[in-house]
């Protein structure tokens, strides 16, 4: 593994106003004293833009340069790389969500395929004319690439050729594209398969956030697969810890027996390695919402719960094998579900229920 220092480097974070992106930028600003962080985000309205603006407000720092732009626009990315010459690139910009990909496929092709291709091309040309170029490209993949694999826990050694949603297919294609570019142009790249990330200021389309909004309005929440889904819920701070460690350890450039470069390419799972039943998850969420004062103590949860069949594109279980992450980077996510949901519930009160 090639050790990379982040100090005195330009670090590009795409999707910087997103859930994981903004938390990563915050952490990088905290951990470094002489790094410059360039963030790009198109600030689209897939969900409430006020959340994205709120996240950006937490990142006021002279070392953070924010660009409002779209990675799917080739000229924007070319200009960004020419102006800032990033040494480390973390691509988190993507159209997220499994269900939305069924009704709005165009957004996924634009952001997840064309956008990522633009990033790869910019990384490739960062070495032109003898420049040092990008030392490490880290990019978000997803646990959804495992599709309906029956074998659990999911290992990065498993075959993942059966996506059950367009979103999953675009994420798998990112891994394939990155492999090709790593092989052809010797670009060190690491893909990260994130497992159901949650936490304060997260995405409102995620179950825990949507459930909270509905329960607060007195609406009924739908629990899919009659509650028989299991998810490897991973707290956002654990995800960020994993990303920061991986940024600093790039796959080594080396040649094979034929004298040609072996692709400096890796993929890791980042998950909690402890899947929780959806009904258990909802139960803990309810308790923490009452504790934080989001809902009254006498709230009738049973009257607001409905067990329904599986949705298209969903899978019954996600479960991360994190042994490779532990072996190579000495890290394993470990935040208990209750602790993470408590942090979310307390943030929810501050953001939505405190008079400003």
Active site residue ranges:
167
User: Rounded to whole angstroms, how far apart are CA atoms 135 and 101?
Assistant: 32
**Omega of the bond prior to 153 within 30 degrees of 0, cis?**
yes
The answer to whether 29 and 59 are in contact (CB under 8 A) is yes
Across the strands, what pairs with 2?
A: 250
Q: Give the separation between CA 263 and CA 184, rounded to whole angstroms.
A: 8
CA distances from 226 to 99, 213, 331 (A): 18, 21, 34
Question: Which helix (DSSP H) or strand (DSSP E) does residue 249 occupy?
Answer: strand 249-250
Element (H, E) at 214: helix 207-216
**Which tokens go with 15?**
């999707």
Q: How many Å apart are CA 133 and CA 125, to the nearest integer?
A: 8
355 Cβ partners below 8 Å, 6+ apart? none
């Amino acid at each position: 593994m090639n050790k990379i220092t982040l100090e005195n480097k330009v670090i590009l974070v795409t999707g910087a106003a997103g859930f994981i992106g903004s938390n990563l930028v915050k952490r990088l600003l905290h951990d470094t004293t002489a790094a410059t962080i360039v963030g790009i985000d198109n600030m689209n309205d897939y969900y409430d833009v006020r959340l994205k603006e709120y996240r950006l407000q937490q990142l006021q720092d002279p070392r953070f340069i924010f660009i409002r732009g779209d990675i799917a626009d080739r000229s924007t990315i070319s200009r960004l790389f020419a102006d800032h010459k990033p040494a480390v690139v973390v691509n988190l910009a993507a159209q997220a969500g499994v269900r939305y990909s069924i009704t709005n496929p165009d957004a996924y092709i634009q952001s997840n395929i064309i956008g990522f291709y633009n990033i790869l091309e910019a990384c490739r040309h960062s070495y032109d004319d003898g420049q040092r170029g990008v030392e490490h490209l880290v990019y978000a993949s997803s646990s959804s690439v495992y599709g309906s694999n029956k074998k659990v826990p999911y290992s990065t050694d498993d075959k993942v050729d059966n996506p059950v949603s367009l979103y999953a297919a675009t994420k798998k294609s990112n891994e394939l594209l990155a492999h090709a570019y790593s092989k052809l142009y010797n670009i060190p790249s690491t893909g990260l398969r994130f497992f159901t990330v949650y936490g304060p200021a997260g995405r409102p389309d995620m179950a825990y956030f949507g459930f909270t909004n509905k329960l607060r309005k007195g609406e009924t929440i739908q629990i899919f697969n009659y509650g028989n889904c299991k998810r490897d819920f991973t707290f956002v701070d654990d995800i960020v810890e994993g990303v920061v460690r991986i940024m600093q350890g790039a796959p080594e450039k080396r040649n094979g027996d034929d004298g040609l470069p072996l692709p400096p390419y890796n993929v890791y799972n980042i998950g909690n390695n402890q899947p929780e039943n959806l009904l258990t998850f909802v139960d803990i969420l309810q308790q923490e919402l009452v504790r934080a004062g989001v809902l009254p103590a006498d709230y009738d949860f049973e009257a607001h719960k409905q067990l329904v069949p599986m949705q298209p594109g969903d899978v019954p279980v996600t479960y991360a094998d994190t042994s490779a992450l532990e072996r190579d980077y000495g890290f394993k996510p470990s935040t208990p579900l209750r602790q993470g949901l408590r942090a979310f519930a307390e943030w929810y009160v501050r953001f939505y229920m405190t008079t400003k």
